[in-house]
Chains A and B, each alone.
Chain A
Amino acid sequence: MNNILLEMKNITKTFPGVKALDNVNLKVEKGEIHALVGENGAGKSTLMNVLSGIYPYGSYEGDIIFDGETCKFSHIKNSEDKGIVIIHQELALIPYMSIGENMFLGNERGAKAAIDWNETYGKADGLLRTVGLKESSRTLIKDIGVGKQQLVEIAKALAKNAKLLILDEPTASLNESDSKALLDLLLEFKKKGMTSIIISHKLNEISYVADKITVIRDGSTIETLDKKADDISEVRIIKGMVGRELSDRFPKRENKNIGDIKMEVSNWSVYHPLYTERKVVDNVSMNVRKGEVVGISGLMGAGRTELAMSIFGKSYGTNISGTLKLNGQEVKLNSVKDAIDKKLAYVTEDRKGNGLILSNPIKINTTLANLQGVSNNFIIDKDKEYQVAVEYKEKLKTKCPTVEQNVGNLSGGNQQKVLLSKWMFADPDILILDEPTRGIDVGAKYEIYCIINNLVAEGKSVIMISSELPEVLGMCDRIYIMNEGKIAGELSGEEASQELIMTYILKSGKGE
């Protein structure tokens, strides 16, 4: 009769100065997939942290009722014992341990002190089959791809006898086919009676799997949509998230002015830095024109980032061969500094790991790639530096109290803007943007798109690497499709469609 597995009632959580959650209510029924959506900073992760006991009972107001009991978790272990298992966005696996060791970490099989390895690996193998992974549980984590690691995380959750599985952005780093497999796995689990909560920015995925969708905005629950009763199209969800209808998700570009070929790469091949016999980029030829946005589409691991980084002053790979022409002249870029001097910029996909110094203020990050621009003879003019940072903050509409703020305290979208500021201040002609909108919310995405349009309007060239097909289709004048290190095809913006791109990828895969 009572089919509610979890009810969170009037949850209010305040941080010093900020009300992160304000009377949030969430009801999850047994055996459903419940999606939680909202812009970055809306409070989704905070809510999940309250639920899992990361913020202990007493640090928030409101009640959590799980399986008919009121719960007072003071530690993440308490919630896990009840069967609430959360899988975080950043994978928490240890690279140099095996899959089996990772799965039972903190939950070891065997007697008190001694681990029973046979039981560990036996159980692990069983669970790996359940999630459809054919690896041996003795394989090291570092040897399997991100997609498989995500599945290991799920298997790990199952090992803890999860009743409620919470997935925070499970597909953020997965490509389309791995994402699909993961979502199908969730549907499979649902048939067996598993309840899941999924947090995601990818609305198409949510429409695909979710039974109910709760929208959170600015720390409050806005509405809960039911698949059976309501319209759960992407447009409808976006309306709930941003409070208005985003009629056009991609800003229009007025009077396109595409000029001559700015950069041309021919017969470019790159080998893996460690496994030197592995060809990561295979004989790629491509070009970008002045004032043009060129997309590189493809699955994760297709060699796109590797291509971009090897062009950018050989910052990836060994044994790089091929020619690179800038403005028709052949150049050799042997270091990142050479590349910057030749007016190239590479805006990384991994803004926290490779892009920004999180513990430093915005102003220091803004000038890092072009410190000479704010200094005379190696002496930094701090006033000028401040001024530059403020100028870019205003230009890109970065939301922050001051440019003295540490970048680590900004939301993903604003961090991305700081990263863009840094590279725009380096004054490049060609910008390679690697997944420029990964993990940021719909509103901020739109702003990033506007920035890209402004850049090309100023006569710069943009190469955009993206795994999100709608974005590539919406933004690019021309699209290269990469697969397994090769260019699988080239389409003009007009003729391209999701189906066509996927066909190219699949076709080239079979050709092997």
Chain B
Amino acid sequence: MDSAKNILKKNTMVFVLILVTLFFTWMTGGKMLLPQNVNNLIAQNAYVFILAAGMLLCILTGGNIDLSVGSIVCFVGAIGGMLMVKGGWNIFAAILIMIIVGLAIGAWQGFWIAYVRIPPFIVTLAGMFVFRGLSNVVLEGMTIAPMPDNYLNLFNSYIPDVFGGNPAFNLTSMVIGILGCVIYVAVVIRGRLSRARKGYEMEKLSGVIVKCTVICFALLAFTFRLAQYKGIPTVLIWVGAVIAIYAYITSKTTIGRYFYAVGGNEKATKLSGINTNRVYFIAYINMAFLAAVAGMVTIARLNSANPTAGTNYEMDAIGSCFIGGASAYGGIGTIPGVVIGAILMGVINLGMSIMGVDANYQKVVKGLVLLAAVIFDVVSKREGNK
């Protein structure tokens, strides 16, 4: 059947994710899907989702990566930590400074990349050294802890249960899950109705129903598990917001389209009246902005700022993008794909940790998964072109 094959091809990574999850659930005797582990999946990988959203934009412009994000995460966290812990600043003022620092770093790197056309690899490699070094300078090589409580509440806590009551089951979390499903289904139905009214081509109804069911089921199961633990982690709100905003930007807006166009054919894009320099600049300033956000999340999660935080974070973000189907040549890739890629990496990490696999072997497996994903992508595309 042709359509079944197509569905499989389009959603390969979703099926891989399901299989991998089942595999680890089986290997760990069900521990994988315990409420606390589901919660950990989010808490431990929040930074990956945030960074991967930004990294996707860089990769879209032509397979360009940003190597400096791990160091920026550390540097921004260091500044925030110093201000809040040593300086006793108000947390919102500190957050504002962290964002400004992120944007300034992005503007610095973006300027060289976009307007002077220094290869991104070089500029961000330099940034990787510079900001790692500066983090050490700012922290004087020490770890700063603990973070203020109200700061932790913002990034490393749980949404309080407004319905009160049962401590074993967080009703708010479940309600949010159900609400999410209802809104999702409503949006899909509205889209279909408007298309039908205007007489446009529509997807097959059966396919849409299956897709809706799967997404709603996943969402409900997920929030159910969270409800059984402590409810929705606050960091999930931040991650969710970043994903939603960037999914919207990349799929629906003109600037989002420009990222794809530049990656597809920069000369043609330029001759279509689009300022391609600005597109590069936005990609890198945005990347550093999201790195700053990830920095906030990271110091909250670690409850400290230390000079080695954020090491190799860029690799996790880049890996998620490529596993999630972004093209190493640019122009192809979606936020939902990247999210799947990030979850897959997270599941593999978590699963192996629970199984007690040696950390070094975990790296080996992660590396092989990344390679396999890209090989698969390249080979399947070659077949498609034949």
Instruction: Please give the residue numbers on chain A whose beta carbons come within 8 Å of chain B beta carbons, in ascending order.
Output: 15-16, 312-313, 315, 335-337, 339-340, 346, 348, 353-360, 364, 368-369, 371-372, 375, 378-380, 382-383, 386-387, 422
Does the CB pair B253–A378 fall under 8 Å? yes
Determine which of B194, B255, B268 lies in contact with A357 in the assembled complex, contact meaning CB atoms within 8 Å. B268
In whole Å, how far is A350's beta carbon from the nearest beta carbon of chain B?
Answer: 8
In whole Å, how far is B30's beta carbon from the nearest beta carbon of chain A?
Answer: 42
Report B-chain residues with C-beta under 8 Å of the C-beta of A313.
273
In whole Å, how far is A303's beta carbon from the nearest beta carbon of chain B?
Answer: 18
Does the CB pair A16–B386 fall under 8 Å? yes
Determine which of A356, A371, A375, A386 lies in contact with B268 in the assembled complex, contact meaning CB atoms within 8 Å. A356
Report B-chain residues with C-beta under 8 Å of the C-beta of A383.
194-195, 198, 200
Does the CB pair A368–B254 fall under 8 Å? no
Does the CB pair A337–B273 fall under 8 Å? yes
CA distance in complex: A247, B273 (Å): 40
Determine which of B252, B255, B272 lies in contact with A336 in the assembled complex, contact meaning CB atoms within 8 Å. B272
Does the CB pair A368–B272 fall under 8 Å? yes
Closest 4 CB pairs of A and B: A357-B264, A369-B272, A337-B273, A336-B273
Does the CB pair B200–A357 fall under 8 Å? no
Q: Within 8 Å of chain A (Cβ to Cβ): is B201?
A: yes
Does the CB pair A378–B254 fall under 8 Å? yes
Q: Which of B253-267 contact A (CB under 8 A)?
A: 253-255, 257, 260-261, 264-265, 267
Report B-chain residues with C-beta under 8 Å of the C-beta of A356.
265, 268
Determine the residue in chain A with the shortest Cβ distance to B260.
Answer: A360
Does the CB pair B261–A357 fall under 8 Å? yes
Q: Which of B222-272 contact A (CB under 8 A)?
A: 252-255, 257, 260-261, 264-265, 267-272
Does the CB pair B255–A378 fall under 8 Å? yes
Contacts A15-B386, A360-B264, A387-B200; A380 near B273 (Cβ below 8 A): no
Contacts A335-B275, A337-B273, A360-B260; A355 near B268 (Cβ below 8 A): yes
In whole Å, how far is B209's beta carbon from the nearest beta carbon of chain A?
Answer: 21
Does the CB pair B271–A346 fall under 8 Å? yes
Report A-chain residues with C-beta under 8 Å of the C-beta of B267.
353-354
A to B CB contacts below 8 Å, 5 in the list: A337-B275, A357-B264, A379-B254, A383-B194, A386-B200
Report A-chain residues with C-beta under 8 Å of the C-beta of B260.
360, 364
Determine which of A336, A346, A358 lies in contact with B264 in the assembled complex, contact meaning CB atoms within 8 Å. A358
Does the CB pair B255–A359 fall under 8 Å? no
CA distance in complex: A368, B265 (Å): 11
Does the CB pair B252–A348 fall under 8 Å? no
In whole Å, how far is B48's beta carbon from the nearest beta carbon of chain A?
Answer: 27
Determine the residue in chain B with the shortest Cβ distance to A354.
Answer: B267
Contacts A379-B253, A380-B257; A358 near B265 (Cβ below 8 A): yes
Report B-chain residues with C-beta under 8 Å of the C-beta of A375.
253-254
Report A-chain residues with C-beta under 8 Å of the C-beta of B198.
383
CA distance in complex: A313, B270 (Å): 11
Does the CB pair A368–B269 fall under 8 Å? yes
Of A360, A368, A379, most buried by chain B (CB within 10 Å of CB) is A368
Does the CB pair A380–B268 fall under 8 Å? no
Of B252, B271, B331, B332, most buried by chain A (CB within 10 Å of CB) is B271
In whole Å, how far is A182's beta carbon from the nearest beta carbon of chain B?
Answer: 28
Report B-chain residues with C-beta under 8 Å of the C-beta of A359.
264, 331-332
In whole Å, how far is A219's beta carbon from the nearest beta carbon of chain B?
Answer: 17
Does the CB pair B331–A354 fall under 8 Å? no
Does the CB pair A348–B265 fall under 8 Å? no
Report B-chain residues with C-beta under 8 Å of the C-beta of A335.
273, 275
Determine which of B257, B271, B386 lies in contact with A355 in the assembled complex, contact meaning CB atoms within 8 Å. B271
CA distance in complex: A108, B273 (Å): 45
In whole Å, how far is A362's beta carbon from the nearest beta carbon of chain B?
Answer: 13
Q: Which of B194-216 contact A (CB under 8 A)?
A: 194-195, 198, 200-201
CA distance in complex: A371, B269 (Å): 12
Interface string of B326-365 (1 = CB under 8 A from A): 0000011000000000000000000000000000000000
In whole Å, how far is B345's beta carbon from the nearest beta carbon of chain A?
Answer: 26
Does the CB pair B270–A336 fall under 8 Å? yes
Does the CB pair B200–A315 fall under 8 Å? no
In whole Å, how far is A258's beta carbon from the nearest beta carbon of chain B?
Answer: 28
CA distance in complex: A6, B273 (Å): 51
Does the CB pair B268–A315 fall under 8 Å? no
Determine the residue in chain B with the shortest Cβ distance to A367.
Answer: B257
Report B-chain residues with C-beta under 8 Å of the C-beta of A380.
252-254, 257
CA distance in complex: A380, B253 (Å): 5
In whole Å, how far is A387's beta carbon from the nearest beta carbon of chain B?
Answer: 7
Of A359, A372, A382, A387, most buried by chain B (CB within 10 Å of CB) is A359
In whole Å, how far is B100's beta carbon from the nearest beta carbon of chain A?
Answer: 25
Does the CB pair B331–A379 fall under 8 Å? no
Contacts A359-B331, A387-B200; A340 near B273 (Cβ below 8 A): yes
Determine the residue in chain B with the shortest Cβ distance to A309.
Answer: B271
Report A-chain residues with C-beta under 8 Å of the C-beta of B261.
357, 360, 364, 368
Does the CB pair A422–B272 fall under 8 Å? yes
In whole Å, how far is B117's beta carbon from the nearest beta carbon of chain A?
Answer: 14
CA distance in complex: A386, B203 (Å): 14
Determine the residue in chain B with the shortest Cβ distance to A357.
Answer: B264
CA distance in complex: A357, B194 (Å): 30
Determine the residue in chain A with the shortest Cβ distance to B200.
Answer: A383
Q: Which of B283-324 contact A (CB under 8 A)?
A: none
Contacts A354-B267, A359-B264, A386-B200; A339 near B273 (Cβ below 8 A): yes
Interface string of B71-113 (1 = CB under 8 A from A): 0000000000000000000000000000000000000000000
Determine which of B254, B270, B386 lies in contact with A315 in the assembled complex, contact meaning CB atoms within 8 Å. B270
CA distance in complex: A357, B200 (Å): 25
Report B-chain residues with C-beta under 8 Å of the C-beta of A360.
260-261, 264, 331
Does the CB pair B275–A371 fall under 8 Å? no
CA distance in complex: A380, B201 (Å): 17
Determine the residue in chain B with the shortest Cβ distance to A351.
Answer: B268
CA distance in complex: A353, B268 (Å): 7
CA distance in complex: A346, B195 (Å): 34
In whole Å, how far is B91's beta carbon from the nearest beta carbon of chain A?
Answer: 33
Report B-chain residues with C-beta under 8 Å of the C-beta of A336.
270-274
Report B-chain residues with C-beta under 8 Å of the C-beta of A358.
264-265
In whole Å, how far is B359's beta carbon from the nearest beta carbon of chain A?
Answer: 39
CA distance in complex: A356, B253 (Å): 20
CA distance in complex: A38, B264 (Å): 31
CA distance in complex: A356, B265 (Å): 7
Report A-chain residues with C-beta under 8 Å of the C-beta of B273.
313, 335-337, 339-340, 369
Does the CB pair B200–A379 fall under 8 Å? no
Does the CB pair A379–B252 fall under 8 Å? yes
CA distance in complex: A18, B156 (Å): 58
CA distance in complex: A312, B274 (Å): 13
Report A-chain residues with C-beta under 8 Å of the C-beta of B253.
375, 378-380
In the complex, given contacts A357-B268, A380-B253, what are 11 additional A-B residue pairs having Cβ atoms less than 8 angstroms apart?
A: A15-B386, A337-B273, A337-B274, A340-B273, A348-B271, A354-B265, A355-B271, A357-B331, A360-B260, A368-B269, A386-B200
Contacts A335-B273, A380-B254, A383-B198; A368 near B268 (Cβ below 8 A): yes
CA distance in complex: A365, B257 (Å): 11
